[in-house]
């Protein structure tokens, strides 16, 4: 494809947030767990079933899976943001997931072991439901924090005119225009609804009421991820979720060129939703097929799957032309 001419920005903060902080969290959890060795039964409980602990092993077998999974994830997200983190969204998703997962895994390890301190037999270990809930909550909060402190995109107005071969729309000098469309993911709504009902049923059967919170989380996810309002006007492109978030914005002065394209969600983005795709492109991917692709300054690319993308692309190019004239 195109030859890279600019380097990925914010590599130092990206490395700190996606690699240094998560590894420090995992290492800290490992050290704390190791310092408890004398208080813990041997073997310790390392796996829990519906009726309490059902898997046992040495302390190392409790620590190792957490450390390995956490480390691999961190290195993966560090690599993604180091080499493909041109957009703030990529860096935020990488930092948030990396830190959030490390805190979650460390929390599960320490929570599971903390309940076993002073026990003679690991079979008496308490349940894990509270630990999972607290660890998940801490993971989400810390992940959100990491995403928030991740550096945003500085303004990078384009200097060159729009590609003359890109599609245009006939618009007279005094005319103003807006293109608007709602993009909905039917499959996401169906999948999320089935998931919510299933979790709700499991909640009622097992009486683990904490799971009910998961239902709330699923419903919230549908609300934010399955329906997007897409608008092109003289401020640029905005795609925003039902609640106004998440939001994908390309200011008009950062548009390099827009065109209609075709998206295959799993191949190009590994799934559906607000995603990071191949080469760090940001996608609002709600279905297979027609999509608006906007190339943006800083070698960034934003994609939204939406009908009538050709009109949207033509209008965006035309308005950018006019603003740059």
Partner 1 sequence: MLIRIDPSSAEPLFEQVGQQVRALVARGDLPVGTRLPSARDLAASLDVNLHTVLHAYQDLRDDGVIELRRGRGAVVAHAPDHAPLHRAIAAVVAAARDLDVPPATAVALLKEALR
For partner 1, the binding residues (CB under 8 A) are 171-172, 174-182, 229, 231, 233-235, 311, 315
CA-wise closest residue to 216 among 241, 228, 199, 202: 199
* H or E segment to which residue 294 belongs: strand 289-296
User: Can you tell me the distance from the alpha carbon of 216 to that of 294, in angstroms, rounded to the nearest whole number?
Assistant: 34
Q: Residue 202's CB: how many other CB atoms inside 10 A?
A: 15
CB of 171 to partner 1, least distance (A): 7
CB of 232 to partner 1, least distance (A): 9
User: Can you tell me the distance from the alpha carbon of 31 to that of 195, in angstroms, rounded to the nearest whole number?
Assistant: 37
CB of 224 to partner 1, least distance (A): 17
CA-wise closest residue to 167 among 283, 316, 302, 323: 316
The residues near 77 (Cβ < 8 Å, ≥ 6 apart) are 18, 94, 95, 97, 98
CB of 179 to partner 1, least distance (A): 5
Nearer to partner 1, 180 or 198 (CB): 180
Nearer to partner 1, 182 or 206 (CB): 182
CB of 180 to partner 1, least distance (A): 5
CB of 156 to partner 1, least distance (A): 23
Nearer to partner 1, 235 or 324 (CB): 235
Nearer to partner 1, 92 or 240 (CB): 240
Q: Nearest-5° angle of CA 119, CA 124, CA 125?
A: 80
Is residue 175 exposed (0-12), middle (13-18) or buried (19+ Cβ within 10 Å)? Answer: exposed
User: Can you tell me the distance from the alpha carbon of 96 to that of 69, in angstroms, rounded to the nearest whole number?
Assistant: 16
Residue with tokens 């240094």, as numbered in its chain: 20
Nearer to partner 1, 6 or 182 (CB): 182
Nearer to partner 1, 2 or 174 (CB): 174
């Amino acid at each position: 494809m195109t030859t890279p001419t600019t380097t990925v920005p914010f590599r130092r903060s990206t490395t700190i947030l996606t690699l240094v902080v998560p590894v420090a969290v995992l290492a800290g959890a490992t050290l704390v767990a190791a310092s408890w060795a004398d208080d813990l039964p041997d073997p310790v409980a390392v796996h829990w079933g519906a009726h309490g602990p059902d898997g046992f092993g040495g302390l190392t077998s409790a620590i190792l899976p957490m450390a390995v999974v956490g480390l691999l994830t961190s290195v993966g997200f560090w690599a993604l943001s180091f080499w493909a983190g041109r957009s703030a969204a990529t860096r935020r998703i990488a930092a948030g997931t990396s830190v959030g997962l490390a805190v979650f895994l460390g929390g599960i390890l320490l929570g599971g072991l903390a309940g076993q301190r002073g026990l003679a037999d690991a079979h008496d270990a308490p349940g894990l439901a509270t630990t999972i809930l607290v660890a998940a909550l801490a993971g989400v909060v810390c992940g959100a924090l990491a995403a928030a402190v991740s550096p945003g995109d500085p303004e990078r107005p384009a200097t060159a005119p729009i590609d003359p071969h890109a599609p245009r729309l006939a618009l007279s000098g005094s005319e103003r225009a807006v293109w608007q469309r709602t993009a909905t993911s039917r499959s996401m709504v169906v999948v999320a609804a089935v998931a919510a009902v299933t979790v709700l049923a499991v909640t009622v059967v097992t009486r683990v009421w904490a799971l009910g919170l998961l239902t709330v989380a699923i419903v919230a996810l549908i609300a934010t991820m399955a329906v997007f309002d897409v608008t092109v006007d003289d401020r640029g492109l905005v795609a925003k979720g039902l609640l106004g978030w998440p939001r994908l914005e390309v200011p008009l002065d950062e548009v390099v060129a827009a065109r209609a394209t075709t998206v295959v969600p799993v191949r190009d983005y590994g799934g559906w939703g607000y995603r990071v795709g191949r080469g760090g492109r940001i996608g609002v991917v709600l279905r297979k097929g027609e999509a608006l692709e906007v190339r943006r300054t800083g070698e960034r690319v934003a994609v939204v799957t939406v009908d009538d993308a050709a009109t949207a692309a033509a209008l965006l190019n035309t308005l950018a032309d006019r603003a740059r004239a």
